[in-house]
Amino acid sequence: MTINGWIKETSREVRSRKISDGPGYSAVIARTYDSSPEEVWDALTTPDRIARFFLPVTGDLKEGGKFQLENHAGGDIIECDKPRRIHLTWVAEGHPAQELIMTLTADGKSRTTLELEHVGPGEGDDAISHVLAVGVGWDPALVGFGQYLAGEEVDKAWWMESEEAIEFTKLSVRAWADVLEKAKVAPAKDVHKAADETLKFYTPE
């Protein structure tokens, strides 16, 4: 699979949402995997497996419990509907409280579409900054998840340092900016400015 193929095989959407009794927006990203819903669910909810494709996690990983990703976000597990839906709060230091919703849908007998929706508060500039930041962050994570499900080792250093990963990030920023423009979340000039800032954040010189 080429970098362009990874970008094209991912579905992206922006949705208007309510969060904490106020306005918000979500970045919605979806990919289809050659694995059953039960296998995808197990990979998403088993600590040892999560660490292989994402980050080490601790906590009481069940509905009503809490989770904490190593040096990253933590939160409450609001809903765990096996093997269909996971709903979490997403709390990272220095950022407003957000929510994460993962929905699994069977595609035939042995394929599954995973939709990940990351909801954050705000409108206008806050909304476009949120969608770009989390969308571009989740793009490689969902590709890496597919590599893991296919039995490949996820090379996290490659995703952080390689020229190919930088090119992937550039394409991801462009793809999310296009989605934001089409959704008319904010004026195009504001989207372009935020996209440039997002690219600088993810690809520092």
Report, at the CATH architecture level, how domain 3-202 is classified.
Answer: 2-Layer Sandwich (3.30)
Determine the Cα–Cα distance for residues 11 and 114; give it in Å rounded to an integer.
10
pLDDT in the model for residue 131: 98
**Each residue's pLDDT tens digit, 180-203:** 999 999 999 999 999 999 999 999
Instruction: Say what the alpha-carbon torsion angle 142, 148, 149, 150 is, to the nearest 10 degrees.
Output: 110
Reported confidence tier of residue 119, pLDDT bands at 50, 70, 90: very high
What span, in angstroms and rounded, lies between the C-alpha atoms of 125 and 54? 29
What are the strands of the beta sheet with 11-19, ordered from one edge?
11-19, 22-33, 112-121, 98-106, 85-90, 74-81, 66-69, 57-59
For 101, left (φ over 0), alpha (ψ -120 to 50), or beta?
beta
The string of DSSP letters for 135-169 reads: HHHHHHHHHHHHHHHTT----HHHHHH-HHHHHHH
pTM for this one? 0.96
